[in-house]
Each structure stands twice: as structure tokens, then as C-alpha cells.
Chains A and B, each alone.
Chain A
Amino acid sequence: MTEPLLQLRNLRVTFPGPRGPVQVVHGVSFDLGRERLGIVGESGSGKSLTGRSLLRLLKHPAKVETDRLIFDGIDLNALSEKQMRNIRGARISMVMQDPKFSLNPVMTIGTQIAEALRVHENLPRTEVKTRVRAMLDQVRIDDPDRVMKLYPHEVSGGMGQRVMIAMMLIPQPDVLIADEPTSALDVSVQAQVLDLIDTMIVGNGMALILISHDLELVARYCDRVLVMHRGRVVEELEAGQLHAATHPYTKGLLAAVPRMDETRKVLPVMDRDMEYDQ
């Protein structure tokens, strides 16, 4: 096997608490190739912190340590903040949960998308505009010229998320982290947005980290799945092999998924406080 695109070893995240430091991520490790990796786990299991740590986004008072964080042969830990900015957006990008909050409310959509490009490339204005228009076209937004002039509050959630995707993909990064990209959206547009992400990732030969608490969804859109629980990776599976899960927590998650062909009165409830051994 060739060198993976991204290598993460032993990620630990600690916050100061009222009674001393509290560790919330306990040594997460994984490799990522040009593939689609899913991270699932219940709320608070450390999925978002893991995603943000890859971009070195966590700030004081969070304490982030890794034994190894290598991206495309670059040791991200060794980079200065300025060098890290050249990675962000341009090489590794991230789509966040709710476009209502993740888009700048007082900047037009066109300006926000253009900024993502301008930060990394010095291009003439007309070319920036052409690229923004083409990008909006790719995320299937009709009438890009009109949408570019709109403010985020003037578009729907589904359209907002497509704008977000356009903004994050316009500098043509290698890795896209999508942190629950559809959980704030209307059910009717969730599949559209996920299909769009999928098409863009596969079409551009990129890597995807899809974060979700929905095991089924992740299995559908990913090649490989990491199951996280209380700050640890408890199981790693091929997407097609979910039924072969051995870890009791994963089995519990699977058992909680309702099926069309079954009749049961009460869905099992996960015991959140249960401690699973590695």
C-alpha cells in the first residue's frame, strides 16, 4: 500500500474543568486515502473535535495533542499558523452543520465564495467571477448570477448548504470534512445534498470524512466507517460489513435502527454510561 493521504495517530483533546483537566478525546488514530471515511457515534463522542483537530482549528483553552498528524507528506504539527492557513481551504476543507449559522449573514453569497478562492489564488476579478459562477453551476444552483447577489438569509437551508459546499470546494482541496452536513436540513433535501457531496468527491478524486450520528446514512455514502464512543474509536469496519460488527456498542447502534420488515413495539435504548473496553 502507498502512503495514505492523511495519517492521524493518538489524538487527545483536553479541556480545563472545574476539577482539573477533562480529557474528551482519548487517542483517536486513523489513516485516510482518497476514499470516503465515515465517523459515527452518539452526541458528545468527540466526532466534531476530531474533525476540527485535523484543521488545527481548536483554540485555547482546548489542549490538542497528537503523536502524528501527517497530510500528503507534510507534518501539520510542525507548521506555523501562517503555513497552516495555506492548508486550510486549499487542501483540507470543511462543511459544517447549519448554513444558517455557518454562512456570514452580512456578506453576499458571491463575495463569500469568491473570498475562499481569493485567499489562496491571486486571480483577476473577472476570472474569480467566472469560477464562482461555474462552481455554483456545479452544485446545481440555477441562475448563479442572481444567487451571487443574495444574502444567506434569502436562500433556503438546502440551497445554503449547496452554497457552503461550493465555497469549500472552489479552491479544489484534497480532503473534505463534512460535519453532519444534513442534520439541520429538511428531510426532503438531505439526500440531494449528500448525493451532491458524493458526486463532487468521486468526480474530483477527493477524500471525504463524513461525520454523522446516523450509522445507516454513513454506511450508504462511505467506503469505511469508524465508530466512536466516549472519545475513542471502538470499531473500524468496511461499509458493507456492518453486520459483521463485533463490538457491543456498534451492535447496539445497529439494533437501534428500525427496519421496514419488522414489527417491534419498543426500540432498544442505548446505555450511554456503559463502559466498553477497547
Chain B
Amino acid sequence: MSALSPFPDSERAPRLVSGLGTVGRFVLVTAMTFLGLLTITFFIGRIVPIDPVVAVVGDRASQEVYDATFRQMGLDKPLITQFALYVRDVLTGNFGMSLSTGRPVVEDLVRFFPATFEMATFGIVIGVVLGVPMGVIAAAKAGSWIDQLIRVLGLLGYAVPAFWMGLVGLAVFYAGLGWVAGPGRLDIFYDGLVPTVTGILTLDALLAGDMQIFLNALSHLILPSSILGFFSLAYIARMTRSFMLDQLDQEFVTTARVKGVSERAVIWKHAFYPIRVQLVTVIGLSYAVLLEGSVMIEIVFSWPGIGNYLTTALLTADMNAVLGATILIGTVFIVINRTSDVLYRILDPRSR
């Protein structure tokens, strides 16, 4: 019977995909995205340096060294084989050596990324905790002075360059008022006193039970992460405000008022509740941007983070380091993107 079916194959194909189930599809999409990332970095690695061997050995190397490296890099093999080797290297964490630090790139990433992660996480928490309520209030009181104030703050977040804010922040709160510590992650005499577990200094200090170091790390962290927080706050507040204005216009919000629900519950329970879904995406995006490492802030604050590392690598044409950092940042983007996808499904009953 089935052989007589007019569309024997086209019927089977979608069933195969849907047969994978939600989890299977999720894994498949994630894997494909990651493969896409590797394809791009692979071609950048092969195309951008006119000669990848020279990028590694330098232009003064002898012909023998050049040839040896050429073969060692597998450049004599077909492109597809090269790509397969590349994927294997990446998956086993082998990004090669960094020319500028002389260490394996993986070790560098493990050392630099937690610094960025710590600052970005603090920053996004500040951005969400302040930005979301600000956006909600601005929308609920659209046109009022508080709305205007929030709009001006938002504009500042767009108009003021990060390095300027970093410098002014240092001048005022560190040099002037002495409220916070200066550049770097820790005062010099505390350096290396707590064992590195996570690489997140505040957390490591807590794990070691050393309050003094914890507070010192915090006092170094607070200014740069507040500045990052301010930038994401500006974006999050603006988006929250526009989502909320949209919701407050909806008929079901009027329904809530008709029922006699208090204005506060109308705003938070009825109008805000549904936009959590959209906010997840906005917050995820801001967090990803912060995790990429704000180069300006990291430079101004001598913060040994991934932005700083990547910039140095670019300036010294340290290709392995550039690609390693790019893959790391790309992976962070994928992880955040996929996580907000999952949260989306959990939070929105319509997408279940």
C-alpha cells in the first residue's frame, strides 16, 4: 500500500525531523551553529594571513623551517582534510601557541576569560536590576518627568564613550573621593594570595574564606562593572519601556482594569509578566555583548580580560590567539542564544 502513496519520501522526511523531538532538534541546531562558527574561523585563519606559515614563523625564517611548518600545519593536504583536522583540534582544545605570550592559547583563554566574565556578570546584574524597573516605570508614567529623566540617562548611555566614562569615573571615585580601588583586579600586595579555583576573584576569595581580599577585589570591580552596567541599563531600560508601552495598549490590560485590579498589579502582573519573554532576549544580547569584553573599559582599567587579550593579539598579528578568542566569544554567543531560546519556551505558554 505504502508504495502507492503519491509522496512516499516527502512524507517521511518531516517525520524524521519531528521524530527527533524537541531535545534532538535543539542539539542539532546548536551543533550546526557551532559548525558554522568553526567554518568561518577556519577560512579566516586560512585567508586573512596571506601566508599562514609566515604568520606563524615570521618572515625571517629559513626555507627548512618554513617547509617543516607548512607540513606540520597540514597545508599540503586537501582543504576538507585540513578542516577536519581543524575541527578535531578545536574540539580537543588545541588552538596552538600564542606568539605574544608564548603559552598555549587555551591556557591564556582560561586565564583571561574569567576576568571578563566576572565584570560582565556584575555589569549585567546592575543593568537588569536597575534597567528593568526603570523601563517599567517610564512606560507606566509615560511623558512624566521621571520618564524624561530615564530617557536622558538612556541617551547618555548611547552618547558618552566608554573610555571617557572610565577615565572620569577613575578621576572622581578613585583619585578624588577614594571610594573605590584603582585599575587592576586586586591591590598588588594581595596578588596570588588566594588559590585560583574559578578565576573569578571575588568568588575565589569567598571560597578561601578571605573577606579582606574579597572586599578588595570587589572595590576594584565595582567601578568598571557599574560603567558596563550603565551601558546595558540604558539599552535594557529603553527596550523595557517600549515593550511595556506596547502591552499597556493591549485590550487584556483594560480587562484587568475593568475587573478592578489595582494599577500596580495591572502593570506588574498583567503588562510586565508577558514581556519577560522578550526581555530574556534583550538581556541575553546585552550580556553577550559584555562578555565579548569591552576593550575600552578593560584598557582604561588595566583589566586582564578577553577584550584586552584579543586586542593585543590583533595588534601583534597573533593569529592563533585571535582565532581562539573568536571561537570562545562565538561559543559564548551561541550558549546565550540557545539559553534564551529555552527560557523563551519555558516562559511563554503559547510556544509550548
Contacts and interface: CB of A to CB of B under 8 A. Distances in A.
A119 B350 CA distance: 26
A235 interface: no
A88 B259 contact: yes
B252 A101 contact: yes
Interface string A86-112: 111110011011100111111100000
A85 interface: yes
Contacts of B260: 85-90, 116, 119-120, 171
Contact of B258 (A101, A107, A120, A168): A168
B349 A102 contact: no
* From B252, B274, B350, residue with most partner A Cβ within 10 Å: B252
A277 interface: no
Interface in A60-107: 60, 81, 85-90, 93-94, 96-98, 101-107
Nearest to A154: B349
B45 to A, nearest CB: 46
Given A85-B262, A151-B349, A153-B350, A102 B257 contact: no
B245 interface: no
Nearest to B255: A102
A176 B275 CA distance: 31
Contact of B273 (A86, A103, A106): A106
Contacts of B196: none
Contact of B251 (A86, A102, A115): A102
Interface residues of B, number: 20
Contacts of A102: 251-252, 254-255
A132 to B, nearest CB: 13
A88 B257 contact: yes
Given A94-B258, A96-B255, A115-B261, A106 B349 contact: yes
Contact of A98 (B251, B274, B348): B251
Interface string A47-66: 00000000101001000000
A147 interface: no
A105 B259 CA distance: 16
Given A98-B251, A153-B350, A105 B274 contact: yes
B349 A104 contact: no
A116 B257 CA distance: 10
Contacts of B256: 104, 115
Contact of B259 (A89, A106, A151, A153): A89
A151 B348 CA distance: 11
B185 interface: no
B312 interface: no
A105 B350 contact: yes
Nearest to B275: A106
Contacts of A55: 257-258
Contacts of B250: 101
Interface string B97-118: 0000000000000000000000
Interface of B: 143, 250-252, 254-263, 270, 273-274, 348-350
Interchain residue pairs A-B with the least CB separation, the first 7: A89-B260, A101-B251, A88-B260, A89-B259, A116-B259, A104-B252, A102-B251
Given A57-B258, A85-B260, A103-B255, 10 more contacts: A55-B258, A88-B258, A88-B259, A88-B260, A102-B251, A103-B252, A105-B274, A106-B348, A106-B349, A168-B259
